[in-house]
Structure 1
Amino acid sequence: MERENAVAGPRRAPLSADEFAAIGDGHIAYVKPILSQELNALFPQAPELEPDLELFALLGADGSPIVVADTREALAESAREHELVTVSLH
């Protein structure tokens, strides 16, 4: 018999990694602060930059890289152009 939570209803099994990654797919993007030396791991085609520059990466709900910028404002504008809602990763 399935146990019920008085507030939330029946308990659900935890999400799989694929189910979790699909939440918000195409609608939600994550803002992740990165340093320039991390850039090529996310964007292999990006040019080499001097180390320790603070950048911001916009990642899809599944973690796929979308765009990189040097300011949060520029990244937010790019997200709006792609009709994405942004959330921050820490």
Structure 2
Amino acid sequence: MKPIEKTAFTDAHLGGSAEPLKTLTAAQFAALGAGDIVFWKKMVAGDLAEFIPQAAMAPAEQELELLMSADGAPVLIADSREAIMDWIDGHEVRLATLH
């Protein structure tokens, strides 16, 4: 483990299983693999357009698939699960899910 990762988890309050992640600085979080971990979430275009303006090109009620880097940067917006899976298959990333 890198020193920054070890510090992030040993210095955190251990109230719950996700609690250590709440105490990470942006630099510590990035060290955990922001470029290697992606999150996948379905959203309607109208909601997505609030923080990714390009999503406004789709009808507001259209469901879109959003893939984001662990640091919060959008990676891919697609209209199908297959498009997301094809992108993931072509890249060396690990998939996490948002709930």
TM-score by length of 2: 0.66
- Greater C-alpha radius of gyration: 1
Cα distance, 1:47 vs structure 2 = 4.8
User: Hey, what does 2:24 align to over in structure 1?
Assistant: 16
The match for 2:41 is: 32
Q: Which has the higher helix share?
A: 2
User: Deviations 1:24-77 (Å, cap 9, x if unpaired)?
Assistant: 222110001111112323432445221211111000011110111112221121
Judging by fraction of residues, say which structure has more strand: 1
Q: Which runs of 5+ in 1 are unaligned?
A: 1-10
Distance 2:72 2:47 in 1: 15
Tell me the distance in 1 between the aligned counterparts of 2:29 and 2:35. 13
- Structure 2 gaps, min length 5: 1-8, 13-22
Q: Distance in 2 between matches of 1:61 and 1:22?
A: 10
Change (3 A) 1:57 1:33: same
Q: Greater relative contact order (Cα 8 A, min sep 6): structure 1 or 2?
A: 1
Q: Aligned pair in 2 of structure 1 residues 89, 81: CA closer, same or farther (>3 Å)? A: same
SS in 1 for 2:85: helix
Runs (4+) of structure 1 exceeding 4 A deviation are: none
Equivalences, count: 80
Percent identity between matched residues is 34
Structure 1 length-normalised TM: 0.71
